[in-house]
């Protein structure tokens, strides 16, 4: 088992060459704070390319879908194809559905937790297919930690924009909302911006493909009932903005700051889900 080292010699989490633990930057690859107070090894394991973060996110979504079904078996819905094996509202609120009762109760952190919850087998399947298709490209072109930051942050911003649209423009409590599609549209948006910035044949192809997919997926959302299109638009727009704001990825090197932001967003989401369970379970059940 690897121990946390704060002094002496360590392997740089990025380039795997021997350095001092307290180096401000790796003299070989330039990674900032490679020791990171002893946690550099774990960040290297998580974001060093040996961990399939896309599969990890998918596993969490599937596991939480199973958990919401198991929490309230009697409430599972079967009314129609889109509602096939849908968890009950009580179970979804317990794990962090945003809008509705959660929003009116002041549980604003649910804009983060709702990304990992799904309202049925078809809903889950579509989002996981998009994630499996888009995620590896973001990982390859922009880096593992930037994939996680993009997915989590655009999912949060998509849900927040949708909720604020209901409050500010419709003057009503936001509709209950769940799903990874805000983050999925965010991945499309960040790849569109990346393709435009990159240029060349591959960049133009990526840009046009993401624009086409965004139009197709967005169009499907507008003809299907119960879809939170505001979250899709918010996720896509915030993904484009993030693609222009983030520094260009330089191959194997990722900023330690971006890695720490990814970990912080994941920790925030986990803390929010724990808070939702503790506060909503006694109310729902």
pLDDT at 160: 98
What mean pLDDT comes out for the span 11-18?
Answer: 67
Question: Does position 7 have pLDDT exceeding 60, yes or no?
Answer: no
DSSP code at position 15: T
DSSP code at position 57: H
pLDDT confidence band for 198 (50 / 70 / 90): confident
- Compute the distance between CA of residue 132 and CA of residue 8 in angstroms, rounded to an integer: 40
Question: Does position 76 have pLDDT exceeding 60, yes or no?
Answer: yes
Q: How many CB atoms lie within 10 A of CB 76?
A: 17
List the chain domain ranges. 9-47, 53-284
Q: For 208-248, how does the pLDDT look when each residue is reduced to its tens digit (9 = 90+)?
A: 999 999 999 999 998 888 899 999 999 999 999 999 988 76
pLDDT at 62: 98
- Residue 212's contacts (CB-CB under 8 Å, 6 or more residues apart) are none
Supply the mean pLDDT for the chain. 87
pLDDT at 158: 97
pLDDT at 38: 43
**Which CATH code fits 53-284?**
1.20.1540.10
pLDDT at 16: 67
pLDDT confidence band for 32 (50 / 70 / 90): low
Q: Which of 95, 72, 98, 96 is nearest to 85 (CA)?
A: 72
- Strand segments (E) across the chain: 9-11, 18-20
pLDDT at 4: 47
Question: Does position 8 have pLDDT exceeding 70, yes or no?
Answer: no
Q: For 105-147, how does the pLDDT look when each residue is reduced to its tens digit (9 = 90+)?
A: 999 999 999 999 999 999 999 999 999 999 999 998 888 999 9
Question: Does position 186 have pLDDT exceeding 80, yes or no?
Answer: yes
63 CB burial (10 A radius; 0-12, 13-18, 19+): exposed
Query: Element (H or E) spanning 190, and its range?
Result: helix 181-198
pLDDT at 100: 96
pLDDT at 27: 72
């Amino acid at each position: 088992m690897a121990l946390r080292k704060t002094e002496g010699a360590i392997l740089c989490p990025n380039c795997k060459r021997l350095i001092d633990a307290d180096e401000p930057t790796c003299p070989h690859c330039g990674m900032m704070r490679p020791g990171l107070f002893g946690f550099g090894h774990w960040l290297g394991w998580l974001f060093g390319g040996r961990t399939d973060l896309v599969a990890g996110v998918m596993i969490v979504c599937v596991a939480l879908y199973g958990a919401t079904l198991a929490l309230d078996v009697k409430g599972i819905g079967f009314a129609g194809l889109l509602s096939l094996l849908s968890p009950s509202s009580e179970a979804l609120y317990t794990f962090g559905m945003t809008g509705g009762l959660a929003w009116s109760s002041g549980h604003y952190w649910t804009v983060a937790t709702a990304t990992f919850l799904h309202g049925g087998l078809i809903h889950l399947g579509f989002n996981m297919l998009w994630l499996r298709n888009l995620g590896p490209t973001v990982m390859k072109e922009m880096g593992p930690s930037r994939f996680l930051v993009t997915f989590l942050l655009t999912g949060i911003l998509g849900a927040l924009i949708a909720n604020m649209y209901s409050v500010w423009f419709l003057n009503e409590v936001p509709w209950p909302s769940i799903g990874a599609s805000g983050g999925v549209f965010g991945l499309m948006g960040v790849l569109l911006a990346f393709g435009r910035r990159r240029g060349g044949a591959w960049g133009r192809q990526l840009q046009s493909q993401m624009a086409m997919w965004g139009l197709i997926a967005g169009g499907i959302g507008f003809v299907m009932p119960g879809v939170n299109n505001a979250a899709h638009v918010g996720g896509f727009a915030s993904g484009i903005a993030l693609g222009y704001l983030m520094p260009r990825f330089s191959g194997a090197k990722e900023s330690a700051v971006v890695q720490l932001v990814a970990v912080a967003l994941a920790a925030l989401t986990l803390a929010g889900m724990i808070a939702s369970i503790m506060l909503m379970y006694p109310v729902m059940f």
